Structure 1
C-alpha cells in the first residue's frame, strides 16, 4: 500500500497528500550513551548491543510500569527478548511489564514515593513533565518514545453521519461548537485529571492554546458540560457507548454518542469481537495532539549501570522491526511519516479525514496546565478567597501600557471570575496598612456561592463590582504578614468539604508594616494551621519587580501551596490556574 493510502469501505481512496512537519522517530536510539553516565565506546565494548552472548551470567531484571494500553504490546516485546536471549553487557535482560495508570504512577513519583520500577512508559509527556515540575519528586529521565497515537473524536455511526462523516472535516473549534449546540451529540471523555487523552483533547477543544479570554471561557463552558459525562479512565469511558443500533440505548440520555479517544483505543474497540457498535473517527483538520509514550528512566542516579543499560536496550527493541510489528498489531503508530492505511481504517478513519495531519507543535505545557486548572475547579467546585494588595505602589504603570498594576490586576480577576460556575464560592479582601482601624485588611465581599442572592443582587455581580472598584490607597504601605495570617485563619476555619479550597494572595511589594508579626512567626503559624486532611493551599503571587518571590514562596509552601512570580499582571489568571493544578496534585500526593 502506498504512502498515506487509505482504503474506502467500498474501494481504495487517496488521503490528503499535504506535507506536514517531520516528527521525532519512535525510539531515539542516539540518547543511549547520553543518558547513561558512561562513554559510548565503553557501552558498545561492554556488549550493550551484543546479540551473541551465551547468557552465562545471571539476567539483569528490570520492571517497567506501562500505561495499560501499551502494556500488552511491551509484554510481547519482553517475551521476544527472553526467547531470543537478548543481552546487554553479556547479561540476558529479563523485563517484567506491569500495567499501571499513568496518573497513579505520576502521583507516586511526584510525591517522592518510589514506584518500585526502573522504567516507566506513560501514555504522554504531560505526566513526565508534571512529575519533573514538583520539587519533592523522584527524578525522571526521558530517553525516547516507543510509539504514538493521535487523539480525535470517535462517534457511533449515526452521530458521525449526522455531522457529515467522512466527507466533512472540522477544526477543534468547530467540533466544540457542534458538541455544545444541542443534545443530539452527547460527548463523553475519560477524566482529564486521569487521562492524557481527555486532557489534550479538552485543551484543543477549549481553545486554551490561543491565550485569549474567550478561549478560557470556552474551556470552562466545555468542562462544565463535559464533567457529568466523564469516566475514570480511557477503558471505562468506552462502556458509556450504546451497545447496538436499535432499542432504547440509542436515545438513552445517559449513553454517550461521541468520545475523546485515541486512534489506538478506537482500533482496539473496533477490532474486538464484543465491541457493540463500531466507531467512526474524526481527525480535526487543524491537527491532532498525540499520545507519545515516552520511555522514562526512574531515579536514574540510583540505578546500576547494568540496570540503566538493560532498560535502554529494551527500549531499542521496540524500535527494531520485530518490536514495531508488535506495536502496529496493537494499533500503534511507529513512524509518523508512514501512516498505515489499514490501521486508520480499522480505527474508524476514512479519506478525506486528515488522518495524517498532526499538530505542528506539541501543546504548550502552560496551556495544558491552564486547562487542567479549569477542569479542577469546574469538577470539584471551588472555595477561593482572593486577597489583593491595594498599597500605593499598585498605581505604578505597567511598562508598555497606559494602565496601572491595579488596572491590569482587576482585568485579570474579572477574567478569572467569568470561568467560575454558580456553585463556586468566591470572596474578596483587599489590604494595605490600617484599612480598618488597626487592621491592615478589609473584607470587601465575604466568600459565598456565586449563585447566592442577597437583596436581589447575586454574589457574582457583587464581586464584579468590587473588582472594578479596587483602587490603590494613597500613601498606603503593604501590610503583608498580618493580612496573610488573618486571611488564612479565615480560609481554614471556613473549609468546605468536597471542594477545592484555596487562598489566592496578590502583592506587588514586601511587608512594610513594622508592627506586624515577623516572617518566621508567620510561617510557623501557617504550618500549625495547615491540615493535610483539609488542605487549603496558599497561592501567593508576586506581581512586578518590587515583589519578593523568595518571600512569597516561603510563606506559601508552609501551607502546601506555591509562590509564583509575574512581571505582567495580565498573566495572573493563567498563573492561578497553573498553581491550582500543582496544589491539587500535592493534596492528592
Structure 2
C-alpha cells in the first residue's frame, strides 16, 4: 500500500516537473520524486535512477532549471544517507554489552542459560532495547573446578583452568552449598585466601520420588522419603527398581543416596543392605552419571522410569518436555503421556541453588553481578524460576555450615556408598588410528597424547580391588592383538604398566570400531571376576571404518553381551559424534550402541577428555 502511495506521488511530481515554469515548483517536484524513489527502490538503486532522470529531463528546460532539479535530488540523497546512518548506528547496533561470565553445573547449565537470557532481555527493556550484559554460560563439574576456584583460577601442576575449563568466572551457580563447601575446604587446607565474596541462595529444589511404580502418597510428616523408598526397595515382588544419578559425579545423586541408604527410621542401613540397595540402583540406571543424562535417556526412548529419585527441577523439565541439556537433549522432546505426579516430602533433602560471588571480580563486573542477583531475588524473576521447577529460597537453607536442606553428614553417606559399591572390572579400548595424531591446541599436543594423559589421571581413581585392562585399535604394529595390558588388579605396578604401554603406541591406520566393541565386550563376558561392575569403555575420534560386522549385527551382539552383565560406554571426541552424524536425523550409531549396551555416550572436546574419563571411571570403580 505504501509503495502504491509513493508511486502515485512520484507520478504527480513527474507531471509537474515536465510542465513547471518556476524554480519553486521545480524544486518541490524534484524533491518528491527523489524521496519516493528512496522509499520504493532503496538507496543504491535510487542514485542510479535519479541520475538517469537528470539526463533525460525535457530538452527545453533551461540550464538553471536543470541545476535546481539536480540540487533538490542531491539534497534528498544526502539527507537520506544521514538518516540511514543514524538508524544504523542507533537501532541495529547497540553498544557492546558487558560480558558476564557465568559458571554453571552440568545438570543446571540449560536452566542457567535460560535464566541468563531472560535477564539480558530484562536489561534491554529498560535500555532502549539494548541489553546491558552479554551472558556467557559454560559448565563444569564441581570436582573439576573446585581446585581452580580455590586457587583463584591459577594454574597448578596438572591443571590449566583457562585452557581446560574456560575463562575465570564472574559468578558461579552450582546446585548446592555442598559444592561451595568443597571450594572452601580446599582453600582452608591449602592455607589459601578464601575466594568467596558472597553466597546467596536463589531457590530450592527438593529431591522427589517419581515413576510408574510410585503410587503411595505421604499422609503425614511421619511419612518421610527414606521410609517410602525403603518400602519400595524391600519388597520382593515385583522386583524393586530405583534409578538415581551417581553420587560421586552429581550433587543430586549424593542427596538421593542419602535417602536410599537410610532405613524407615532414618538411620544408615547395615553394610549388606547398603550393598543390595546400591546394586538395585546401578542395575536400574542406564546412563546415570548425572540426573540430566539419566532422564534424557528415558525421554529419548519415550519411556518413564519405574521409580527415580531426582530433583524437582529436573523432573519438572522432564514432564514438560523442556530441553534438559546434555548430549541428545539440547532441544525440547515431547514427554510420554499420563506421567505420574512426583512424591514431594517436606523433610526431603534439597538443592539450595547458591549464587556465588568472588573476591577477584572487578568493580564493574561486581556491580553487574549484584544487579543479576537482585533480579533473581525480585518478583520479576519469580514466575520464571517457579516455572523452571525452583521453589522460593528456604530461610534455613542459605548457610554454608548449618543447612537444613543438606545431609548432616554427607561424608558418611559417601563412605557408606563407596563401601557398598561393587568393585569394577573395566577394559579401556583407545582409538589409535591415524586421526588421533591430529594436533590439539599446541603443535606438541595431539588427540592421542591428551587421551594418554586422561588415562594416567583416571588411574588415580583405581582401587586395589578394582581391575583394569587396556586395548588399542587398530592392532598396533609389532603386536599380535589389540591387548596392550591385560585386565588385572589395580596395583601400583599395574598402573605403571598401563602408562608405559601407552607410550609405545604411535597412531596409525583405520578405525575398526564395531569389531573392537564386540571383541572387548566378549572378553569381559567370558572372563572371571566375581561380583563386579563389568564395562567396556571406548575412546574414539571417528566413525567405524571396518567392513564387518555392520551396525545391525553389532547392535545384536551388544544386546546379547549386555545380558551377560557387561555394559558399554563411549567417549566421543574429534569428529566422532553421539548423534546426528553427517546431517542424518535421529540417534547416531554411537548412541544406539551405548543404549543397547545400557551405558552412555559422552561427547568431549580434546581438552575435556581427562575430566570426562576421570568422571566416568569414578562411576565404574569402587576406589577401594
- TM-score bin, normalised by smaller chain: 0.3 to 0.5
Structure with higher strand content: 1
Structure having the higher Rg: 2
> Scaled by the length of structure 1, what TM-score is found?
0.44
> Scaled by the length of structure 2, what TM-score is found?
0.42
